[in-house]
Amino acid sequence: MTFNDIFKTSFLEKVSSFSALDMVIALALAFALGLFILFVYRKTCHGVMYSTSFGVSLMIMTLITTLVILAVTSNVILSLGMVGALSIVRFRTAVKEPLDIAFLFWSITGGIVLGAGLLPLAVFGSLFIGIIMLLFVNRKSHVQPYVLIINCKDDTAEDKVLEMVSASVKRHLLKSKSVSRDGIELTLEVRLQEDTAKFVNQILSMEGVLNAVLVSYNGEFAS
């Protein structure tokens, strides 16, 4: 038995039947698609929530998914084994933003479509999704909500503060009121006039006001 006889099996036939050019084209397009998804993620992520590792993971996930689908489509038996192997994988990392789930599915779907050979669908579909996300995710509300937290000494100072707030903002809503021996803490949701916060300085200078804090938030309030 020679060395060639040992490897003269269906394994070599599968290697020779697999197109290296198709693999290179699919992985190259997957890399370009991953970069595009990373670009959209960077443009649509706001504040300090941007994660470099998550962005790179989106690009790598597109490549990995494409590689898996290329292997699955080339062999039915391998596809069954791949499904069994992937079924034991568990992801423990918590998703911080709901929008991150959309990016995860986008990366996986892009890799699946590329691996299946549907190149026009992957390219034009990803361009369409990217444009939609850039338009709607970066769309800002006309009036940014803020949370105003004020500490007052007594009821008299509280009444004066509420009058000042009512005259200084477009709209306000009392979210919570905490009363203790040290004073009164008011938490209000406010909409500023012309994006100016100078009235906070005026509130702090009022008699009976101990502290005033203005915080930007996303519209969700945890009581």
Mean pLDDT of 113-141: 82
Residue 183: which region, alpha, beta or left (left: phi > 0; alpha: psi -120 to 50)?
Answer: left
On whether the pTM is more than 0.95, the answer is no
Nearest one of 198, 172, 199, 200 to 187, comparing CA atoms: 172
Q: Which amino acid is at 142?
A: H
CATH of 145-216, one of 2.40.50.140, 3.40.630.20, 3.40.50.2300, 3.30.70.260: 3.30.70.260
CA distance 58 to 125: 17
User: pLDDT for 52-84, tens place per residue?
Assistant: 778 888 888 888 888 878 777 766 555 555 555
pLDDT band at 210 (very low <50, low <70, confident <90, very high): confident
The structure tokens listed for 22 are 């198709």
3-state DSSP call for residue 69? helix
**13 against 122, higher pLDDT:** 122
What is the domain partition of the chain in residue ranges?
A: 3-137, 145-216
- Counting other chains too, the contacts that 107-110 makes at CB distance below 8 Å and 24 or more residues apart are 107/34, 107/37, 107/58, 107/59, 107/61, 107/62, 107/65, 108/61, 108/62, 108/65, 110/30, 110/33, 110/34, 110/37, 110/62, 110/65
3-state DSSP call for residue 39? helix
Residue ranges with strand state E in 128-223: 145-152, 171-180, 183-191, 209-216
Residue 117: which region, alpha, beta or left (left: phi > 0; alpha: psi -120 to 50)?
Answer: left
